[in-house]
Every structure is written in structure tokens, then in C-alpha cells.
Amino acid sequence: MRNRFDKELEILNLELIKMGGLIEESIETSAKALINKDLEMAKRVNELEVEIDEMEKTIENHCLKLLLQQQPVASDLRIISTALKMITDMERIGDNAEDIAEISKFLANQKFIKDLVHIPQMAEATISMVKRSVDAFVNKDKELALKVCKDDDVVDNLFQIIKTELIEKIQEDTENGEQAIDLLMIAKYLERIGDHAENIAEWVIFSITGEHRIRGEKI
Amino acid sequence: MSKIKIEDVNLYYGEFQALKNINMNIKENEITAFIGPSGCGKSTLLKSLNRMNDLIEGVKINGRMLLDDVDIYKDIDASVLRKRVGMVFQKPNPFPMSIYENVAYGPKTHGIKQRSKLDDIVEQSLRAAAMWDEVKDRLKKSALGLSGGQQQRLCIARAFSVNPEVILLDEPTSALDPISTMKIEDLLVDIKKNYTIVIVTHNMQQATRISDKTGFFLHGEVVEFDDTEKLFSMPENKKTEDYITGRFG
């Protein structure tokens, strides 16, 4: 009955998977740029950010076209409005990854005041959250989306650990202060990425259930 | 408050059962929309609300339809019922007479003869149908010279003229251009504070724009009846979802 519309929705899914892939790559590359003090990697994040912005525009235009042409209702309307909300958070994640890459450029010629253990863990956790939130959307998997929301606690805990460690480093030697603040900002950007991934998962739950929870609220 | 109560209604055209066990409360001062594929029973139910099916041979109805708690098939005379429950059809059907006479016809048949009173009714009805300014200078001209959209609003004015409580509309805008459609939609929303309105429509966007409640009909049954916003955003029934998203029908 509605082959064309269904095909368009499939294309929308593919576009979101592609944008999700770019974001995962962007977080991963920014973390590598930091850990390996690799300026090329940091530049690559800038390029990815441009691609992510373009992808956001493409998906936004696609969604607006579908709203205009198909006048969707019920699950179709929820899917398209969710896609529109998701890409805003996805684009912000791209910005945050770029912010991390910018700081990593400053740190590239410095000796780290501590081994970077928890920051890579945070990056890994947020990449997984982003990947699963997009998967949950494509597969209409509410349970997976709920897990993503829960996993934000892991990221928040890692942030607290890093913060405590960095305070100790500053207390040990005030010379550590500047780098400690840079590293804290990186951790904060990763914590924000976790929040954006949680937002995405919350919109995915809306697309399935029709109910949008407020952050932290149990469903 | 429920203006109309439909209780366990079954309707048969001969052997064919067109309505199956319909139960529904239609509220006062609300617009209720009936949607569903052709042949699903929505127009049949609409017509039975002012007993338009009485004249069709072989029609059998059981169950109860109540208007203000009075059984419309047992305790109200059909002509009295039709004064209280007006009907507007898909195709504008003005009488081949002047605009004025079209609107005055109903009140005249109900015994109003005084010219000044008829003048008042015609003006009020045409104003209520948002077309007084368009036609006030040509009231004596034939109604057949009006555009399709004007003819349909004239039919709505004609329905107003006998001061009904309920207005039934069977796809009233399906033959009209977007501007005329919008005028009629605005009109219905404006007047619902004084009436109970039931509209059959194939235009689902129209149902979402103007109605408070929507009933989805399929094969003579009411599959889902709920607040319009709920039905079009998060329908309970998969059949409703499939129909409104165009997966069948």
C-alpha cells in the first residue's frame, strides 16, 4: 500500500546509522588524539565535525520533506519527530568531540600529570551508548534504549572519579593545575556526550511508547 | 455531557449486517469524527442518527439510540427528530430556488409565516454559516448560481435555520477546494459551542484538525473510539494504526 513511504523511512534509518557511525568515529578519534598526542587525529576530528553537520542538514531536510509529503500520523509521526530530535543531540556530540580534540592539541607537547585510565574508559562507554541508542531506534528496541539511559550512570561515576583524582593532583603540586583543568574539561565533555546519548535513547523510547520521560524519571 | 448515546446497535440491510454491536457516547459541544474505509458503516451510523435509513427497504435496526436519553426510534417522531438533528450531505444539494427561500424553507414548513421573523432567521443562519456578507445583496438570486463551496455553506445555513441541536455532516468538504474546505472547518470549530457535531470524513488531516473525538470503523464495527489527539498519535489498536498510516484501506 505504501511502498514509497516505507522506502523513505528505510533511507532515514540508513542516514541515522551513517551519522551515528560518524559520531562514534569522532569520539574515538578525539580520544586517540589525546592519548597518543596525535595532531593528525585531532585534525581528522575537525573534518568529521563538518561531515556530521552536513549529515544533520541532510536528515533534517529529509524529515521535513516527509512531514510535508506524507503528513505522517501515529508511529510514523513519532519516528520522524524522534529523528529530528535525535540529530540535534548527535550534532552536539560532534561538537563535544571537536572540543576534546582542540584541547588535545594543547596537550600534545606536554607530559601527562597522570596515566590516562578513566578518560579512555569514558570514551569507550559513550561510544557504546551512542551506538546502542541508534541501534535501538532502528530496531525499535525499547529495552536496549532503557539500558543506554541506565549506562549514563557509569559515565557520570567515571567523571566523579576523574574529578577526585585531578583535585588530588592539584593538591600535590599547583603546577599541575592548568593541565588538570584541561583534563577535567575533557572529562566534562565526555560526560556531556553521555547526557546527549541518554537524550537520544529517551527519544527512542518516545518513538516506541509515545511517552517522553523527563531525565532521571523511571519508566 | 453525552448528547447521543448509542447502545448495542446492530443494523441490517436485508441479510447484510452493516453495523455490529455499536456502543458510543457522543458529547455535547464537541466535534466527533467517524473515519474508516468505504463500506465500513460510518455513513450508515451517521444516517441512522436522524433516521435517514427509515425509507430504505429491508433495513432492520436493533439496540437503542438515545438523544438526551430519549429513544429516537421509539419515542420521537421522525420529523421532530430531523428538526433537532440536521444533516449536511457530501454533495451540496441546494433546492432550485433563491438563496433566501433555501434557508426559509425549513422554518416555513415548521409553521413560521411572519416575514420579519423569516428575514431574521435567514440572516442569522447565513451569518452563522459565515456567508451573509457574500450573499446579502443577492438573496433573491438562484442558489444554483453559487460556487460549490458557497452551496455547501448554504446547506449548512439551511440546517441551522430550524435551530437544531445536533448537526450531522457526511463528507461535507470532499467536493470542495482547499479555501472552501478551510472556511467550513473554521465554521464547524466556531459553532461547536452551540451544537453537537458529528462528521464523516475520508480526510484524516481534517479529523485531526477539527474533531475532539474520533471513531475508527471497520467492517461495521467500531475498532477504536478515543480523543482525536490520542487516536492519531498513539492508537491502541493495530488495525487503527495500520489504517491511519496508510498500510491498508
Characterize the bridge pairing of strands B31-35 and B213-218. Answer: parallel
In the structure, what pLDDT confidence band is assigned to residue A32 with cuts at 50, 70 and 90?
Answer: very high
Nearest-CB residue to A1 (from B208, B235, B246): B246
pLDDT for A218 beyond 60: no
Per-residue cell: B154:
448554504
CA distance A78 to chain B (A): 8
Task: Compare A213 and A187 and report the one with higher pLDDT.
Answer: A187
Question: Over the stretch A150-160, which tens digit does the pLDDT of each residue have?
Answer: 999 999 999 99
Q: How far apart are CA A81 and CA B220, in angstroms?
A: 34
In the structure, what pLDDT confidence band is assigned to residue A34 with cuts at 50, 70 and 90?
Answer: very high
Q: How far apart are CA A201 and CA A206, in angstroms?
A: 9
| Buried b / exposed e along B117-148 (16+ C-beta atoms within 10 A) | ebeebbbbbbebbbbbebbeeebeeebeebee
Q: How far apart are CA A175 and CA A169, in angstroms?
A: 9
Nearest-CB residue to B241 (from A1, A71, A75): A75
pLDDT at position B153 is 93
Is residue A117 included in any domain, yes or no? Answer: yes
Q: How many CA atoms lie within 13 A of B148 on its CB side?
A: 13
Is residue A218 included in any domain, yes or no? Answer: no
What is the mean pLDDT of the segment spanning A89-110?
Answer: 97
pTM value is 0.85
pLDDT for A217 beyond 70: no
User: Distance of CA B71 to CAs A42, A51, B42, B67, Å?
Assistant: 79, 68, 20, 6
Share of chain A above pLDDT 70, in %: 97
Task: Please count the residue pairs, one from chain A and one from chain B, whose beta carbons lie less than 8 angstroms apart.
Answer: 33
Contact B247 A2 (CB under 8 A): yes
Taking CA–CA distances from B247, the nearest residue in chain A reads A1
Question: Over the stretch B185-214, which tens digit does the pLDDT of each residue have?
Answer: 999 999 999 999 999 999 999 999 999 999
What is the mean pLDDT of the segment spanning A30-50?
Answer: 97
Look at chain B and count its residues: 249
B 186-215 → A contacts, CB under 8 A: 204-205, 208
pLDDT for A121 beyond 80: yes
Contacts of B247 in chain A (CB under 8 A): 1-2
What is the mean pLDDT of the segment spanning A71-90?
Answer: 96
Contacts of B208 in chain A (CB under 8 A): 73
What is the mean pLDDT of the segment spanning B129-157?
Answer: 94
Contact B233 A71 (CB under 8 A): no
For an interface test with B, which of A73, A75, A78, A79 has the most B Cβ atoms less than 10 Å from its Cβ? A73
Q: Does B246 touch chain A (CB under 8 A)?
A: yes
List phi, psi (to 5°) of B122: -60, -45
Is residue A219 included in any domain, yes or no? Answer: no
Taking CA–CA distances from A1, the nearest residue in chain B reads B247
Name the residue among B57, B67, B70 with its Cα closest to residue B168. B67
Share of chain B above pLDDT 70, in %: 100
Question: Over the stretch A198-207, which tens digit does the pLDDT of each residue have?
Answer: 999 999 999 9
Is residue A142 included in any domain, yes or no? Answer: yes
* ∠ Cα B219 B225 B231 (to 5°): 105
User: Distance of CA B106 to CAs B42, B88, B89, B150, Å?
Assistant: 27, 14, 16, 19
Is residue A115 included in any domain, yes or no? Answer: yes
For an interface test with A, which of B233, B238, B239, B242 has the most A Cβ atoms less than 10 Å from its Cβ? B233
The SS3 call for residue A197 is helix
Taking CA–CA distances from B236, the nearest residue in chain A reads A74
List phi, psi (to 5°) of B30: -125, 160
pLDDT for A103 beyond 70: yes
Is residue A217 included in any domain, yes or no? Answer: no
Nearest-CB residue to A71 (from B205, B240, B241): B205
Task: Compare A69 and A60 and report the one with higher pLDDT.
Answer: A60
Task: Compare A98 and A212 and report the one with higher pLDDT.
Answer: A98
Q: How far apart are CA A213 and CA A199, in angstroms?
A: 10
In the structure, what pLDDT confidence band is assigned to residue B130 with cuts at 50, 70 and 90?
Answer: confident
For residue A184, the tally of other CB atoms under 10 A from its CB is 17
Is residue A215 included in any domain, yes or no? Answer: no
Which of A33-37, B37-41, B55-59, B239-243 is predicted least confidently? B55-59
Name the residue among A178, A16, A11, A18 with its Cα closest to residue A106. A178
Q: Which domains does chain B have, with CATH numbers?
A: 27-50+77-244 (3.40.50.300)
Q: How many domains does chain A have?
A: 1
Q: Does B247 touch chain A (CB under 8 A)?
A: yes
Is residue A112 included in any domain, yes or no? Answer: yes
Taking CA–CA distances from B241, the nearest residue in chain A reads A74
pLDDT at position B1 is 84
What is the end-to-end Cα distance of chain A in Å, rounded?
35
Contact A2 B246 (CB under 8 A): yes
Contact A74 B247 (CB under 8 A): no
Write down the mean pLDDT value for chain B. 94
pLDDT for B106 beyond 70: yes
The SS3 call for residue B23 is strand
Per-residue cell: B97:
430556488
In the structure, what pLDDT confidence band is assigned to residue B175 with cuts at 50, 70 and 90?
Answer: confident
Q: Which residue do the cell numbers 471513531 mark?
A: B215
Contacts of A76 in chain B (CB under 8 A): 245
User: Distance of CA A184 to CAs A69, A151, A179, B124, Å?
Assistant: 47, 20, 8, 73
Q: How far apart are CA B31 and CA A11, in angstroms?
A: 38
CATH number at residue A64: 1.20.58.220
Per-residue cell: A86:
535525535
Radius of gyration of chain A (CA): 19
Taking CA–CA distances from A208, the nearest residue in chain B reads B234
Q: Are A169 and A150 in contact (CB under 8 A)?
A: no
Q: Are B82 and B132 in contact (CB under 8 A)?
A: no
Which of A182-191, B6-15, B122-131 is predicted least confidently? B122-131
Contacts of B240 in chain A (CB under 8 A): 74
Name the residue among B35, B60, B50 with its Cα closest to residue B241. B35
User: Distance of CA A214 to CAs A198, A201, B35, Å?
Assistant: 11, 12, 34
Contacts of A2 in chain B (CB under 8 A): 245-247
Nearest-CB residue to B233 (from A2, A71, A210): A210
CA distance A2 to chain B (A): 6
Look at chain A and count its residues: 219
What is the mean pLDDT of the segment spanning A4-31?
Answer: 96
Q: How far apart are CA B185 and CA B79, in angstroms?
A: 28
Q: Does B178 touch chain A (CB under 8 A)?
A: no
Domain range for residue A78? 3-209
Q: Are B167 and B1 in contact (CB under 8 A)?
A: no
DSSP B29: T
Characterize the bridge pairing of strands B213-218 and B221-227. Answer: antiparallel
Name the residue among A182, A74, A183 with its Cα closest to residue A119. A183
Quickly count helices (H) and strands (E) in chain A. Answer: 6, 0
pLDDT for A214 beyond 70: no
CA distance B42 to chain A (A): 21
DSSP B101: H
